[in-house]
Structure 1
Amino acid sequence: MAHIFTPPYSKTIPVGYDNVLNLPFDPYRIHIPHSPEHVLGTKWLDWLNDNNRFRYIVRWGVWFSAWKTDHGYWTAQRVFNGRHRSEYLGESQHLTWSLLRLAAVNISFPDEVYWFDKSHSRNLKSSPGGRGAASVTLQLLDEYLVTRGFNGLPQTTEWEGLADFRNWVAQSVADMSEVS
C-alpha cells in the first residue's frame, strides 16, 4: 500500500514542532519528552500507541512524515527531489523530540550528502558493536565539515548554525553514553 504524502502545511494530521505535538482536536498540544526515560506514562506515548502518523517539522525544508508500520515501529518518510527517503525511528517508547529532530535533519540533507551518508551509515550500523544514529550523525557531520573546509572558511551564520548543531549532536551522544 502506497502512502500519500501531504505537504508540510497540512492541517489534517498532527504536526510536531520542537517538543510539542499540535493536534487538530482536543487536547490540542502534547509535550514530546526529550529523553527515553521520560516517555513512559506520558500522553505522548498514549497518543503514539493510538495513532499511526504525524508530521514533524524543525523549520522550513527540514521535516518528515512519520508512519507506524503494521509491526508497531515508526519510520520517517519524505519525498525529496522526486526520490523517496525513509529512516527507521523505532518503537513508540523510544520516540523523543531529540530523535525526531535528528531524523528530520538527516532526512533533509541535500541529495549528494544524504545518499552518500546513507551508504556509509549502513556500513557503520552493521559493524560490530553497532552505533546509534547520533554517533553516526556526529561522524558524518565531522566528515562533511572537513570535506567542505569548515576551518578554512570565514564564519557565517550558516556555518555557525552547523557548528552549533554538531555540538548539540556531540552532547546528545555524551548524554546517551551516560545513560547506557
Structure 2
Amino acid sequence: MSMDGKTPHLLPLSLSAATKNIRDDVPLVCGWVLINAFTLAVAYIAVEYLDASCSQSSFIMPCIELTDAEAARVTALFIGTLCCAPAQAAAAALALLLPCRRRRGRRALAYLALTVTVLCHCMQAGTVWVFLAADPGYIFGWIYFPAGYCFFAVCDFLSFRALLGGDGWGMQYVAYF
C-alpha cells in the first residue's frame, strides 16, 4: 500500500521476491549431463574389463561379426564417445561451481555440456547402427536400442527447453512446443 493506505504500490513485488521467481534449470541440466558422463564411464569399464561372452543362441548378446571397415568405424565412434565424457563432466561441473551471479557463464557452460551430451548420444547411436546393420536379425537390438535412444533424445530436448525457458528470455521460442 502507498502512504495514504488506499492505492497499491506500482511494483507489487520487492526486488528480492522478484529474483526468487527466476527459475534456474542449470543444476537440473547439469545433473542429466553428469549422469550420462558417469554412465558412459561405467559402461566403458564394463565393456573393457568384464568378461561378457557372447553366444549365437543368445537373443540379448549374440556374436556379431564385423568387417574390417565396420570394426574401424566402431572403434572411431567409441573413441570419440569416450572423449566426450570428460568434456561433458568438466563443463557440467564448472557450470555447477560458478556462483549464481554469473548467470550467463553458467548457462553457456550448461549449453556446452548439453551439446556435448547430444553429440555423444549421436555417436553412440552410430555405433549401435553399425551393429544392427551387421546383423539384421538381432530383433532385441532393433527394439531395445531405438527405444533407449528415443528416451535420450526426449531428455536432451527437454533439457534444451528447460535452458531456453529458464529465466524467461527464451520462452518466445519454446512457446510453440
TM-score range normalised by the length of the shorter chain: 0.3 to 0.5
Greater helix fraction, Structure 1 or Structure 2: 2
Scaled by the length of structure 1, the TM-score of the pair is 0.35
Hey, which of these two has a bigger chunk of strand by percent? 1
TM-score normalised by the chain length of structure 2: 0.35
Structure having the higher Rg: 2
